[in-house]
Structures are given as structure tokens and as C-alpha cells.
Structure 1
Amino acid sequence: MDKRFLGRTGLEVSELCLGTMTFGSETDESTGHRILDEFVAAGGTMIDTADTYSAGVSEEIIGSWLKTQNRDDLVIATKVYGEAGPGLPVRGAGRKHIMAGVEDSLRRLQTDFIDLYQIHVYDDATPLEETLTTLDTLVTSGKVRFIGASNLTGWQLQKAIDLSRHRGLEPYVCLQPLYNLLDRDAELDLIPVSRNEGVGVIAWSPLAGGWLSGKYRKDQGGPPAGSRSNQADWDAHDNDRTWRVLDALQTVAGEVGKTPAQVALRWVMQRPGLTAPIIGARTPEQLADNLGASGWSLDDDQVRRLTEAGDAPLPYPHNILRLPQFVRRAQ
């Protein structure tokens, strides 16, 4: 598996990142350890989790596995923000919770440091200065190597970067947004800001919750048996654009002799500014399929056809800004 630098940092990560949201819920400890072993055996180095995944059990499963590994070979990313367990209050990104949260994550992960510590979502109740100065303290202390964020708007990301630069604080070096062939809003502001500021991008849900796995067909009339989708999700996706994307995905998959999931992941891997998609395998079989996205490339025409199948009208002001008479640089 190829390696890539995370944004403008000197940190190299694998071109696929293993997401572990299902560890502790749909994936038990022994299966999780097997998935981790197989991911590393394939050349994977970056593993993503969060303090809220299965109320901390995901971190514990990684931790019990991590103590048998060469820690320096791995890049462990986790997140802080949300409720510590079902029914418990959301704690946010204030100093008190971050300082307690990092200690809890270090304990569960059984490690002395976290490679990438991410704010899970923007906290509109906490001054951004409080969040960023606290994260800077964690880097200075050696408990955290790099910081990042997930689920921001474009202006929130830019504000955080500008404030860090102005105050001389450690900046966000990684963004974790929703991004796939069907969910492409990140292209409007988040990815351009990331590219301009040298921020790495690791995309969550690169298979759109299974819609890009090849299991969904228009003639089914509803979600396939065994999927995590429900009727409301089906109704939200049952439109001409979705089926146009899935048709293009199946066509390209046939041309390259790969599964639709592998092609969908490969498209994300080849997008400008993207560091890695986060693959969320519940089973070793799903992992094996996802790993097949590595080691080959789509050609320019295939990328173009997949991209154009999912193109949608631009919202204001992007529709104005991208008119030919106003564009002065190649996009």
C-alpha cells in the first residue's frame, strides 16, 4: 500500500485509513484484532477511532491490540467532543473536557501519545481560542503529535487556521469530512480551503453508507436485506442522480475488473487534495474487498465519467464564481 504525506506535514500515512466505528458494537474484540492485523499486513498504518465509538470500547479494542505492535510504525487518530455514553450529556470542545478526554483516550488506547487528535464537531458554545490553546498545550506536552477536526464548515476551518497562525498555535493539519461519489458538498469550500492551506483530508463514509458497494439496484424498490439502510434512507437516495452514479460505477467496475466498492474508493483516492478514504470494515471479508482499492489506478476518462455522473447544479455563489468570464485560474 502506498504512503502519502498528511497535508504539508512530514507525517506519512497509508493511502487507506482504517475506521473502527463498529468495533465494540458490530465487531467484537477478536474480529477487530484480526481486521487490524490484516490491515497492517497489507501495508496500512493509519487507524481512526473516537472516544464515543461504542462508548469508548473501540479505543479499548485498539489498545489491547496496540500493546502487541511496534507503536512507531502506526498512526493512531482519535476524536474528542461527544457524549461519553448513551444518554449522557454532550461535553463539547472546552478545556475541561479536552484535558479529561485525552487522558481517557490514552488510557483506553494503552499508549503514551496520540498521533492525530481531532475535534469531532465544531463547538458553538466554546470560544475557539479555548479549544485551540488547549490543543496546543497537548502538543507541547507530547501527549498529542498533530491536531485536526471533523464536521466543520468552510468558514469554521479557515477561522481556526487563521487564529492559530495569528496566535502562533499548533494548526489543524487534517480535516475529516463526509465525501464520496454521492456526497460531494465538501468540494465547494472545505476541500479548496484544505488544499490552499496544506491541510490533509481523510474522508469518512467513502461508500456512502453502502450505497456505492454494488448492493443497491433501482428495481429493488427498497433497501436490500442485510443492509444498514432503512426506507427513509432509500427514499432520500431514490433519484435520477443516484442511479446515474451507480450505473457509471458498475460500468467502470466492469472495465477495470474491480468491484464497485473498490472503484468508488479509488475515485476518492485520486481526487485532488485527498489524503485517504476511511474504510469502515465490519468483517475481514469487507476489509479484503476494500483493500482491493489499492495498487492500481483509474484512467482520466474513467475518473471524468464517474465525476460527471454525480455532478449537480452549483449553489449560489459558486454558480456565479465559476462562470467562464469570471474564472481567472485553472480550477
Structure 2
Amino acid sequence: MSKRNRNVSLSRRRLLQQALALALSLNLPRAGWAGDKPQKILRKIPATGETLPAIGMGTWLTFGIDLDDESALRTRSAILETFFELGGSVIDSSPMYGSAEEVVGNCLARLDSTPDLFAATKVWTSGWRAGVRQMERSRLLWNVERFDLMQVHNLLDWKTHLATLKEWKAAGRIRYLGVTTSHGRRHSELARIMETEPLDFVQLTYNLLDREAEQRLLPLAKERGIAVLANRPFQGGGLFRRFASQPLPKWAEAIDCENWAQFFLKFIISHPAVTCAIPATSKVAHMRENMGAGYGRLPDAKLRRRMSEYIRGL
């Protein structure tokens, strides 16, 4: 860069900094803020218009613990308490996750007050009878009257289970139904189901590096009015292992990001088709970081491109 161009760039930067300082001094409103507090980010379920917080909670690996480990149970209870205190609602689990459903039920029972829970789990077996037994068992483990969302896990025997879920929804035994994939698998089959079946939700893998869903699934969800839960938002921890030692860009402050977790999550929930991201954690401090992504400003299309380019450049 020439000296003249560098001076022009510096002058523009100073002007921007001065404009920001002036806005702050005048206490001008910022998008995503109510007065001096960041607003909670909510998303509508297209099927009904019901709103959900944009950050939920997954339980894969993190809640599949030994039920005799009282220390671990107290930690999970503290995680749930923090989640609800910071405005969380959507908890997602599965019979596939070992003891996770029973741990969720145990921890919910320890809470002092009834939380604003949106209970989501899955059926993960073959055959009608086995599916019904498994879903009933899940309800008992969670100790809920009914599930808000029941999903067919990784499309396993999906035709059989989806027929059951339609009957259960019509009878009021569940509120919403859906299907899931993970690790970016079986996208073509999922697209065909989305095109032909009356789904309320789909769950799929989407994060800053795993973006195949942008090509067909996310636009299709938007077109068909299907809510989207984004799983593996941190790529199973891979994003932290790869990028956490790198500096968070200064311009991340423009979207109220204080850490990498919020950077990763705000990229996901800023996609117009995504309803809720469901990160999992086994630490209270990390839950606080995750929930911070559910407040304040989100990147627009231009800033989303900048976020992607920054990650690719590291």
C-alpha cells in the first residue's frame, strides 16, 4: 500500500472511531439494544409463530454422565439453572446420548422453580412398537407431560416413526414434529423429506466451517416454513481447538461478541433460516459465554462474509 493510500485509510478509520464515540456520548440507540441493555434474540417457529430464544442447549456427550456421580450431577444442575436464568428454553437430547435424558430429568427436578422449558428429544430405533416404547420412556425420564418437539434421529426408520408422530401431534401428545441429521450426512435424503412431508422442524449440522446446508437445506427450510435447529455449532469443539489461540478481531465488538463462542454462534443464528443453535457444554462458565450470543446485535450479510473470510485467513 502506498503512503498516500495508507494515510487515506487511517483517516477513514479515525472518522469511524470518532463517529462511534459521538454516538456513544449521545447515547444513540443501537440495533439489538433496548436502552443500555442488549435485547434478547428471538426467532419464530414458522408453523405457528411461537417464538424461541435463538440459543438453546444440546446434551450430546456433556450430559451422558454416571448417575451415581453426585458432583457431576450438581454441575449439570448448575448448568441448567444458568441456562434458564439467562433466558434459555430449548433443550435437545436423544436416547442415543446414553444417560443424558435421565440426567436432564434429574437436574430439572432439582430446580427451585418451574423453568420455561421447550423439551425436544428424538426417537432412535427401528419399528413402530420399539419407537412408541422408546418415546414413552423418554417422557418418563424427563418427567414431562409431553414433549414440545419429537424428532426422528438421523432419519432412522423415518417413515414408520413420522407416521406415529403425525398421529401423536394430531392427538396433542406432542406439539411439533421433525427429523434430524448430523455431521453433514444424508442431505439429499433430508431434502426429499423436507419437500414432501409436513415437517415443523429439521435439525442439521451448521457452523462456520460446515456450511453445506447453505446450498439447499437452509433455503428449502425457509421456502417450506420449517424451523431449523443447528447442531454441532462448535464442530464438536473443533472450532475452539483450531481458533481459540488466535485473537478475536476487534470489529467483533460491533456485534457484541466478547469471546469466540459468541462469534461462532452469532454467525449461525444470523442466517435467516436458522431458528435456534444448540451448543452443548459441561461447564457453567461456558454456558454463560454461549448464552451471551443470544443477546445484542447480529451480523448482516456483509459482516457474515467478513467473519467467514477472517476464519479462512487464520
TM tier, shorter chain? 0.7 to 0.9
Aligned to 1:109: 142
Shift of 1:17: 0.8
Determine the structure 1 residue equivalent to 2:22. Answer: none
Q: Deviations over 1:195-236 (max 9, x none)?
A: 1101111111111222333x5359x9xxxxxxxxxxxxxxxx
State the SS of the aligned residue for 1:194.
helix
Distance apart, 1:147 and its partner CA:
0.7
Select which of 60, 72, 78 maps to 1:34.
Answer: 78
Residue correspondence of structure 1 range 208-287 to structure 2 within 5 A: 208-213=235-240, 215-216=241-242, 250=249, 252-253=251-252, 258-287=258-287
User: How much does 1:138 deviate?
Assistant: 1.9
Cα RMSD, aligned residues only: 2.6
Give the corresponding residue for 1:149.
179
Moved more, 185-194 or 136-145: 136-145
Conserved? CA contact 1:16–1:277, under 8 Å: yes
Deviation at 1:106, TM superposition (A): 0.8
1:193 aligns with 2:220: yes
Q: What amino acid sits opposite 2:76 in the alignment?
A: G
* 1:65 partnered with 2:95: no
Distance of 1:263 and 1:310 partners within structure 2:
11
1:1-331 equivalent positions in 2, closer than 5 A: 1-21=40-60, 22-25=62-65, 28-53=72-97, 55=98, 57-67=99-109, 68=111, 69-70=113-114, 73-81=116-124, 91-92=125-126, 94-123=127-156, 126=157, 129-151=159-181, 153-164=186-197, 171-213=198-240, 215-216=241-242, 250=249, 252-253=251-252, 258-300=258-300, 301-308=302-309
What is the aligned residue count? 261
CA contact (8 A) 2:176 2:200 kept: yes
The gaps in structure 2 that reach 5 residues or longer are 1-39
Answer 1 or 2: higher relative contact order, Cα 8 Å, separation at least 6.
2
> Equivalents in 1 of 2:58, 2:257: separation in Å?
26
SS in 2 for 1:8: coil
- Matched residue of 1:115: which SS? strand
Corresponding letter in the other structure for 2:100: S
For 1:216 and 1:129, the matched residues in 2 are separated by: 39
Structure 2 letter corresponding to 1:144: I
In 2, distance between residues paired with 1:192 and 1:206?
19
Q: Return the alpha-carbon distance in structure 2 between the equivalents of residues 273 and 217 of structure 1.
A: 26
Q: Counterparts of 1:37 and 1:284 in 2: how far apart (Å)?
A: 9
Cα-to-partner distance string for 1:151-208 (whole Å, 9 max, x where unaligned): 16444334334544xxxxxx22111111100110111121121111011111111112
Distance 2:268 2:195 in 1: 27
Spell out, residue by residue over 1:23-42, the C-alpha distance to the aligned partner (whole angstroms, 9 max, x if none). Answer: 13399221111111111111
Partner in structure 2 of residue 243 of structure 1: none
CA distance in 1, matches of 2:134, 2:82: 29
Displacement after TM superposition at 1:10 (Å) = 3.2
Q: SS of the residue aligned with 1:307?
A: helix
Q: What is the SS of the residue equivalent to 2:154? A: coil
8 Å CA contact 1:118–1:148 kept in 2: the answer is yes
Query: C-alpha separation between the residues in 2 aligned to 1:298 and 1:74?
Result: 25
The structural deviation recorded for 1:130 is: 2.6
Identity across the alignment (%): 29
Residue 131 of structure 1: CA displacement?
Answer: 2.8
Q: Deviations over 1:260-286 (max 9, x none)?
A: 221111111111201111121111011
Counterparts of 2:243 and 2:106, CA distance in 1: 40
The CA distance in 1 between the partners of 2:45 and 2:226, in whole Å, is 7
Number of the residue aligned with 1:316: none
Question: Could you say if the C-alpha distance between residues 65 and 209 of structure 1 is closer, same or farther in structure 2, counting changes exceeding 3 Å?
Answer: closer
Q: Cα deviation per residue 1:277-329 (whole Å; 9 max; x = unaligned)?
A: 11211110111111221222244343221234568xxxxxxxxxxxxxxxxxx
Task: Rate the CA distance shift 1:148–1:310 in 2: closer, same or farther, 3 A.
Answer: farther
Distance (whole Å) between structure 2 residues aligned to residue 212 and residue 155 of structure 1: 26
Displacement of 1:133 in angstroms is 1.4
Checking the alignment, whether the CA contact within 8 Å between 1:20 and 1:281 is kept in structure 2 is yes
Instruction: Mark the runs of 5 or more structure 1 residues left unpaired by the alignment.
Output: 82-90, 165-170, 221-245, 312-331
Distance 1:283 1:36, change over 3 A: same
For the Cα contact (< 8 Å) 1:6–1:199, is it kept in 2? yes
Structure 1 residues 257, 163: closer, same or farther in 2, change over 3 A? closer
Q: Structure 1 residues 11, 101: CA separation in 2 closer, same or farther (over 3 Å shift)?
A: farther
Whole-Å Cα distance in 2 between the matches of residues 278 and 252 of structure 1? 25
